[in-house]
Every structure is written in structure tokens, then in C-alpha cells.
Structure 1
Amino acid sequence: MRYLLPVSATEKLPPPAPGADPRPVPGQNPRLQWGLSLAVVVVGAATIRPMGFTGQGLAVTALFVLNSAALLARGLPEHRVSPRATLIWLTLGVVAAAALTGVSAGGTGYLFAYFLAGHIGYRLDTRPALVLAATCSLLCAAVLYFHLGPGDPELPWVQGLTTGVPVVVGILNRSQRRAVRSALSAAESAERAARAEARTAVLTERARIARDVHDVLAHSLAGINMQLELADALLDTGDLKKVREATGTAHGLVKESLKQAQWTVHALREDALPLLESLTAMVESAGHQDALTVTGTVREVPARVTQNLLRIAQEALTNAARHAPGGPVAVELAFTAGSVTLRIRNGAATRAVTPGGGSGMGLIGMRERVALLDGRVGAGPVTEGQDRGGWQVEAVIPG
């Protein structure tokens, strides 16, 4: 059974912003990142010495503020900071962290270098991240080895070399982030494709229902209208016998219309109809006795094939009655190993043709039906034989 979605459900999702993706990645907690940054700042404020407003204390205080600002900037969304600004900010942060390590006489100033190095790996591509992390290690090791400032006597210069190691963790986190975002993008693309497919299914279903409504209303009402117009014209002649014949035919068409409405309901519900029995009843109800010929081995065909062949036959028979009244009609249903062929041929009209009455959608509907089944249909005038001057419709459905 088909499912229908409202067309509004097929609206496209907004595309991601250029550059960094502003959407949150599952598994990341911004609050935790802010909490760690604040913890490093608080621990640094409590342990880094000396701090003051003169001399060495002023320098330590200024560098501590710069390091705190650089560290807290980790919480800024990536899409709000350009790659160039990120590189400048992290470079200045590394220099400030190395300077703080050399100027301070004690405390946990080295933690700023470790956390900034980890964030370098997360924010920058691999090559610039490794270069900047190596720079951080060399600077921190240099200020401790060469005693470029008071420095923390408990920190060996080898520890300064390790300040760039957390860059590896940052690179791994960045790779994981990109993998997750790629998976999310792929899922969204698949969802958009599914919605587009559902929208196509909706439009296809609407076209199918439109064809079925056309087949029932346009054909049946056109035939009834012709008979009623004939009866109205005969009233002026006073020939009540022919009037009764016309109205009787109209009544028959009404009954046939009810039967066709039932066929349409079955088709919309996708109920299975017996092809041969239904086609036989349709041909006989159109007034053509013994007009159906069956060749090949009769077999069951899919419900869609049956429904569309019956609609094509209905269209062809109605057109024959409208455009070639009184002309002979021959219907052939041929079964082969790989296809089912329906061929309907009518001869030239033997009675006056009532102008108008057609919708012009019949042949279009036939082609649409056959195209849905990967078949082919042909329609055109008969130019030779006893039916010369008539019309033939042939539909070939694989299966």
C-alpha cells in the first residue's frame, strides 16, 4: 500500500553554514569545557606567585590575565571565529603561556600551556597544529632551560617539552568531530532524498487518481450526454420508439458507469481483478458480442497490469463509440512468454458522428499508464483491410 505525505513535509532542511558547522556534535558538552577552563583559571589565581601591581608581580598578573582570556576563548563557537583569527589567538596564547612559565616563581601556570596545546589540535588542521604545538614545547623548555626569568625552580626544562603533547588528543577529538558531523550530514541528505521520493510518490498517486476519475466521469458522462442529445432531437420528430431506444441506451450507460465506478474503487484500493473476465464483461457491455479473441496461454498477471489494461480498453472502446458509431470492433488479448498485448481495432463509422464530447486526455492517459509499467503503446488510423478508415490501439506490457 502506498503512503502519502503532505507536500509541506518535503521542504528542504537548511544547509550547513560555510566553514565550520555551528551544529552541536553528540558527545561534546560545552558546559564541561567552560567548567575545565574556569577551574584552571581559579587554580592558577590561587597558586601562581607573585601577583601584584608593581615589578614582577605586575608582569605575572598581566600574563595571567592574557592566559586566562586565551583559555576561556576556547568556549567561543567555531563558526564565529575565522581560521586566521584562531591561528593568531592561539599563537599569542602559546607565547603568553611560555612567558608566564618563565616569569612566575611558582604555581600552576604551566597548565595554561597544556590546555592551549590540546585546543590547538582541536581547532587547527593537523600540520599547523603540530607546528604550533612544537613551538609551544620549545618555548616552554627554553625559558626553563636558559632561566630567562625567575621561573619555577621545581619545573625541569624537560617538562616544558611535554607541553605540546596534548595536541595529539586535540587532533583525535577533531577527527572524531568531523566523522560525527559527516555521519549527520549523510543522514540529513538521506532524509532529504527520502522526502523528495515521498513527494514524487504523492504526485504520481495524484496523477493516477486523476486518470481514474477521468476514465469514469469523462467517458461515462460523454456517452450518456450523446444519448440524451439524440433523444432530445428525436422528440421533435415524434418518433417515440427511437426516443425510448435512446433513453434505454442512456440507462444502460448509467448502469455501466456504476460498474466502472466499482472498478475504479477496486483500482484505488489495489484490489485484484480477473483480467479476462473483466475485459469480456466490458466488451459485451459496450455492445460488442463475441468481439474478444484470446491467444496464447492465459495466466494471472499483476494487479497493476490488469488495472491499466482495463483502463486502456475502456478508453479505446469509448473512443470507438464516440468517433466511429456503428463501426465493427475487434479486441485481441495475446499472452506470450514475456508480455501481454492488448489490441483494439474499430472500423469506420456507419452512423453520424456527434461532434465534441472528448476531453483530449485519453491517449495521454494511455501513454502514462503504459510508461509506469515499462511497456509501449501505439495508436493510429487503419489504412488497409476491411477496417480501413478506422482506428487501432495496441498496448504491450512486459511480464
Structure 2
Amino acid sequence: MPWLMVAATVIAGIVTIRPMGFSGLGLVVALLFLVNCAVLAARLLPEDLVPERSVVVWLALGVVAAAALLGTSRTGSAYLFAFFLAGHIGYRLDTRPALALAAFCSLLCGGVLYLRAGPDNHALTVVVGLATGIAVLPGMAARSRAQATQAAISAAEASERAARAEARTAVLTERSRIARDVHDVLAHSLAGINMQLELADALIDTGDLVKVREATGKAHSLVRESLKQAQWTVHALREDSLPLQESLIAMLESSGHRNALTVTGAVRELPAQVTQNLLRIAQEALTNAARYAPGGEVGVQLRFAEGSTTLTIRNRPATKPVATGPGSGMGLIGMRERVALLGGTITTGPVTEGPDRGGWQVEAVIPG
């Protein structure tokens, strides 16, 4: 740890460096020793606290102080300050300024020791002085490891943020799906039941009990249909897979349309999500047909192609009075959302030609 190395260097300096006192050369050595301690202690400061240019100037002054301590002290471990300072240079600065400052440290310390040593010790002292800058290499390696660790931590944090955002998006998507299912089950069913009960209430005053029973019978039928729809919703929320063809037949028969399903192409099993959304689209279209075109015949076609599945619901014009107000528009929005989630397309609009002219058509094409 950095503070342990600094502490060890300071203790070694106090114990071994001589002369050190309060006057003459001892005072100079003591002051230089304190300056070197201050330079090494600066490595404990956070990197973002001091500007880069100030750090370079401070470390350059530290190199000068370390070389001066080497030149003034006679014995001891004064050279440790130069070694640890060079290591900190490699850790603190980028590669180019670190190498330049380390070279300056080596040349300055080598020159000082060359001038101090006698003729017989020039080679050894020069080697020791020049070697002080080599400590920059371990410092640079430690810097690389620290940067790699920080990059890994940043990547992990970014991944965690992305995972949280994805989870939130999934929750919102699921909420939208549940909202569509609740709308399909409650809004349509309750609207149909309310319409039949209002009709029965109006017929009571006429005394036509046959029509009253017919209206209440339809209300009961809608209640049973609502229970089936609730079952479908529970299946959808549990992500259970329903058989598409059989479910469409049951849905049509419960709506009073027998033999209304036509299947073309090679029948295959579809993913649960595709089946659920196609059933919801069919349910929405049939509910709208019963509301806006009562009495009109309904035909459903399910086409299996090589790269897509197409569901078409077409109803003829109403043959009975339409006793309902404008809808909320949420049904069409829900259908578009369902198809968009599957990457498909949906078209809705009036039928302008053929035997169903004047009616309405919904066609959903799901790829895959």
C-alpha cells in the first residue's frame, strides 16, 4: 500500500541518514529530508484533487530535492526517496511525461553521485544514480493495472445500469400488456352486458316478455363469454399456450357465428406469444363487430404461409339497429400495439367491394 511504503521510507531515512541536526550541514540535510517526505506524502492525495500541470511541477521539484539530499547526506538510505519518487512518477503521470521525468531523475541523481564519489567509485555511483529512474517502470505497470481495474468497474456499473433500465422497460411493457388484457376483458364485456340490460329495461315497458327474455338471455351469454375471456387472460398472464384454431372456433361459436372459420396453408404450432396476441386481436374484432354491426355475418380466415401467419376478420353491415355510442378507440390502439410487439403489420378499414361491401375488415400479418 502507498502509505506503508512512504512510512517505511521516512522511518529508514530518520534512522540512517546522516548528518541530520539543527545547524550547519545537518540542518540542510534535515530540511531536504522534510521536503522529500512532503513530496512522497503527496502521493496519498486523490488524483483528481491536483491539476496535471501542478503535479508535473511538484514532482520535478521533488526530483531536484531527492538529488540534493543524495548530494548533501553522507550515509544512509537517502537514495530510497529517489527510487520511490520515480515509482510514483510512473504511477501518477502519463507515459510520455513519466518517462521524461524519470530520465531527468536518473541523469540528475547520477550526476550528483558522480561529482560526490571519488575516482575509484565513479562507475558504481553512476550506475546507482542512473538506476533510480528504472523504478518508473513498476509504477507504470501499477498504473495500467489500476486503469484496467477501473475500466472493469465502470463497465460493470454500466452493465448494471443497462440491466436496470431493461428491467424497467420490461416492467412497463408488461404493464401495458396487462392493461390491454384488462381492457379487452372488462370494457368490451361490460359494455355488451350493459347494452342488453338497457334494452331489456326499455322492453319491460312494452310488455313484450319474449324480447325481454331474449335480451336477458344475451346478457347471460355475454357473462359466460366474459368468464371465458377471463380464463384466456389468466392463461396469457401465465404465458400458457392455447390452441389457436380450437380457441378461434370456440370464440366464434360463443359469439353466435358457426362454421365461420376458414384455415388455409400448412397448419403449424405458433409461439405462445403469437397465439395469445392473435386471439386477442380476434376477440377485439368480434366485439367491435357485435357492437357496430349487430346481426351482420362474420367470417374469419387464418392463413399459414411459409414466412408469415395472417388473421383476417371481416364482418358484413349491420342488420339490426346499432344501439351504442362511440367507442374509446383503445381497442384499435391495443391491436396495433400487439402486432407491433410481434414485428407484424395490421390494416383496418371498410370493405369497399364484394359481397361484404359496407362491412369492416381487420387483417393482421405476423412474420415467422
Equivalent AA in structure 2 for residue 264 of structure 1: T
Q: Residue 326 and residue 387 in structure 1: after superposition, are their counterparts in 2 closer, same or farther (change >3 A)?
A: same
The equivalent residue for 1:28 is none
Deviation digits for residues 142-173 of structure 1, max 9, x if unmatched? Answer: 12222399xx9997233111111101111111
Deviation digits for residues 243-283 of structure 1, max 9, x if unmatched? Answer: 11101110111011001100110011011111111100100
Instruction: Measure, in 1, the Cα distance between the counterparts of 2:229 and 2:43.
Output: 72
The yes-or-no answer on 1:113 pairing with 2:73 is no
Instruction: Measure, in 2, the Cα distance between the counterparts of 1:139 and 1:265.
Output: 82
Instruction: Measure, in 1, the Cα distance between the counterparts of 2:308 and 2:9.
Output: 78
The equivalent residue for 2:56 is 87
Alignment partner for residue 324 of structure 2, among 339, 355, 360? 355
Q: CA RMSD in A?
A: 1.8
The yes-or-no answer on 1:224 pairing with 2:185 is no
Instruction: Measure, in 1, the Cα distance between the counterparts of 2:331 and 2:219.
Output: 22
The yes-or-no answer on 1:291 pairing with 2:260 is yes
**Corresponding residue pairs, total:** 366
Could you tell me the TM-score, scaled by structure 1's length? 0.88
Instruction: Summarize the alignment of residues 136-147 of structure 1 with structure 2, pairs less than 5 Å apart.
Output: 136-147=105-116
The equivalent residue for 1:37 is 6
Identify, as 1 or 2, the structure richer in helix.
2
Instruction: Measure, in 2, the Cα distance between the counterparts of 1:170 and 1:258.
Output: 73
Alignment partner for residue 326 of structure 1, among 277, 295, 308? 295
Contact 2:114/2:122 (<8 A) preserved: no
Deviation digits for residues 200-233 of structure 1, max 9, x if unmatched? Answer: 1111111111111111001110110110111111
Contact 2:195/2:324 (<8 A) preserved: no
Alignment partner for residue 336 of structure 1, among 305, 309, 321? 305
Bigger relative contact order, structure 1 or 2 (CA pairs below 8 A, ≥6 apart):
1
Structure 1 gap ranges (5+): 1-31
Contact 2:67/2:108 (<8 A) preserved: yes
Q: Residue 148 and residue 96 in structure 1: after superposition, are their counterparts in 2 closer, same or farther (change >3 A)?
A: farther
Q: Per the alignment, in what secondary structure is the counterpart of residue 116 of structure 2?
A: coil
Task: Return the offset for 1:359.
Answer: 2.4
Deviation digits for residues 71-112 of structure 1, max 9, x if unmatched? Answer: 122211212222122112211111000001001111111110
Q: Residue 60 and residue 148 in structure 1: after superposition, are their counterparts in 2 closer, same or farther (change >3 A)?
A: farther
Q: Residue 106 and residue 173 in structure 1: after superposition, are their counterparts in 2 closer, same or farther (change >3 A)?
A: same
Contact 1:102/1:147 (<8 A) preserved: yes
Task: Return the offset for 1:358.
Answer: 2.5
The yes-or-no answer on 1:132 pairing with 2:101 is yes
Q: Residue 58 and residue 155 in structure 1: after superposition, are their counterparts in 2 closer, same or farther (change >3 A)?
A: farther
Identity percentage of aligned residues: 71
Instruction: Measure, in 2, the Cα distance between the counterparts of 1:228 and 1:283.
Output: 22
Instruction: Summarize the alignment of residues 180-329 of structure 1 with structure 2, pairs less than 5 Å apart.
Output: 180-329=149-298
Instruction: Measure, in 1, the Cα distance between the counterparts of 2:235 and 2:292.
Output: 29
Instruction: Measure, in 2, the Cα distance between the counterparts of 1:153 and 1:289.
Output: 110
Large movers: runs of 4+ above 3 Å: 152-155
Contact 2:192/2:291 (<8 A) preserved: yes
Equivalent AA in structure 2 for residue 238 of structure 1: G
Equivalent AA in structure 2 for residue 52 of structure 1: G
Deviation digits for residues 360-391 of structure 1, max 9, x if unmatched? Answer: 11111111111111111111001122222110
Contact 1:340/1:397 (<8 A) preserved: yes
Instruction: Measure, in 1, the Cα distance between the counterparts of 2:38 and 2:352.
Output: 92
Instruction: Measure, in 1, the Cα distance between the counterparts of 2:51 and 2:124.
Output: 35
Task: Return the offset for 1:350.
Answer: 1.2
Instruction: Measure, in 2, the Cα distance between the counterparts of 1:314 and 1:35.
Output: 74
Alignment partner for residue 160 of structure 1, among 103, 116, 129? 129
Contact 2:310/2:365 (<8 A) preserved: yes
Alignment partner for residue 178 of structure 1, among 147, 168, 179? 147
Contact 1:347/1:387 (<8 A) preserved: yes
Structure 2 gap ranges (5+): none
The equivalent residue for 1:27 is none
